[in-house]
Chain A
């Protein structure tokens, strides 16, 4: 059994890979995929800490896992809305390049 820090390290690596993807990809759908990756990295850290602190009490351990459950639901809602916006933008612009959407700003 490897220590909690190994899981947290893997979580950090996945999170930063996702963050680099958000910075370097241009297509909005690819940015969404990278955000999903970052959410999952955070989930892994939560589950790892739930395992680490489960010895101090059931509530502590299970709370971490329940938080992951709620994050999953929020991610599902976010994907539904985000892809809806993408489809609406694509219908008007025939492109999902985020740099081409600069007229949205104030």
Chain B
């Protein structure tokens, strides 16, 4: 109970930091805090493998990519704000949606499962168990994700590469002249 309270408050504070902090770098680091807290929450839910993957993939790869792009583009904090009424409308919508979801979750309380039974069943989300389901029930999804990752990789490379300067005949002539003069100099020596 105490563990969950501490983790939940840290996660919510980190999430608020993502929304409220001005500097993109600060917001990204705040999100890293939330992601690591979520990894610890996964451990309390008997998903040890997912916790490790969360730290490696999210905390490592994805957030490093984010920070890299933020620093590469040198994005400054937002100068203009959205209109105040839009901001307050968003806060209102968020409050209403959160309240609705929380009330919905609380109205349907379930008997908490027996921790010992769940621990014996899930075995901490052992990679072997996950692999059996991933290559069995989830085979189609697994292959589609493979195609998606390949498409994403090719697409990202195609998006960020600069177009090659078109070779015009003038450029080629110039290059040829340079080469000829170089050859003359070399021969003169």
Q: B: which residues have CB within 8 A of A?
A: 1, 4, 8, 11-12, 15-16, 18-19, 24, 27-28, 31, 34-35, 38, 41-42, 45-47, 49-50, 53-54, 57-58, 61-62, 65-66, 69-70, 72-73, 75, 78, 80-82, 86-87, 89-91, 93-95, 97-98, 101-102, 105-106, 108-110, 112-115, 117-118, 121-122, 125, 129-130, 132-134, 137-138, 141-142, 145, 148-149, 151-153, 155-157, 159-160
Please give, as numbers and ranges, the residues of chain A lying within 8 Å of B138 by CB-CB distance.
Answer: 63, 66-67, 70
Please give, as numbers and ranges, the residues of chain B lying within 8 Å of A19 by CB-CB distance.
Answer: 93-94, 97
- The reply on A101 being an interface residue by CB < 8 A is no
Sampled A-B contacts (23; CB under 8 Å) = A1-B112, A1-B115, A3-B112, A5-B108, A8-B105, A10-B41, A13-B102, A25-B19, A27-B78, A29-B66, A54-B117, A65-B130, A66-B134, A67-B138, A69-B53, A73-B148, A76-B57, A80-B65, A80-B152, A80-B156, A83-B156, A84-B156, A97-B78
Instruction: Known A-B contacts: A65-B49, A70-B145, A80-B156. Give 9 more (CB < 8 A).
Output: A5-B110, A7-B4, A13-B102, A25-B78, A27-B75, A30-B78, A76-B61, A77-B145, A83-B65
Closest Cβ neighbor of B157 among chain A residues: A84
Please give, as numbers and ranges, the residues of chain B lying within 8 Å of A40 by CB-CB distance.
Answer: 34-35, 38, 58
Q: How distant is the Cα of A58 from the Cα of B123 in the complex, in angstroms?
A: 10
What distance in Å separates the Cβ of A51 from its nearest Cβ neighbour in chain B?
5
Q: How distant is the Cα of A16 from the Cα of B141 in the complex, in angstroms?
A: 28
Q: How distant is the Cα of A20 from the Cα of B151 in the complex, in angstroms?
A: 30
Closest Cβ neighbor of A40 among chain B residues: B38
What distance in Å separates the Cβ of B49 from its nearest Cβ neighbour in chain A?
8
Q: By the criterion CB–CB under 8 Å, are B4 and A6 in contact?
A: yes
Q: How distant is the Cα of A24 from the Cα of B91 in the complex, in angstroms?
A: 9
Mark each residue of chain A from 69 to 106: 1 if its CB lies under 8 Å from any CB of chain B, else 0.
11011111111110111111010000011000000000
Please give, as numbers and ranges, the residues of chain B lying within 8 Å of A34 by CB-CB distance.
Answer: 18-19
Mark each residue of chain A from 18 to 33: 1 if its CB lies under 8 Å from any CB of chain B, else 0.
1111011111011011
Q: Which of B35, B66, B157 contacts A32 (CB 8 A)?
A: B66
Q: How distant is the Cα of A32 from the Cα of B75 in the complex, in angstroms?
A: 14
Q: By the criterion CB–CB under 8 Å, are B47 and A47 in contact?
A: yes
Given the interface pairs A2-B1, A54-B121, A87-B159, the reply to whether A66 lies near B133 with Cβ below 8 Å is yes
Q: By the criterion CB–CB under 8 Å, are A47 and B50 in contact?
A: yes
Q: By the criterion CB–CB under 8 Å, are B8 and A10 in contact?
A: yes
Q: Which of B18, B42, B90, B149 contacts A47 (CB 8 A)?
A: B42
Ranked nearest first, the 9 interchain pairs of A and B with the lowest CB-CB distance are A12-B101, A77-B152, A84-B159, A23-B90, A20-B94, A21-B19, A84-B156, A16-B98, A8-B105
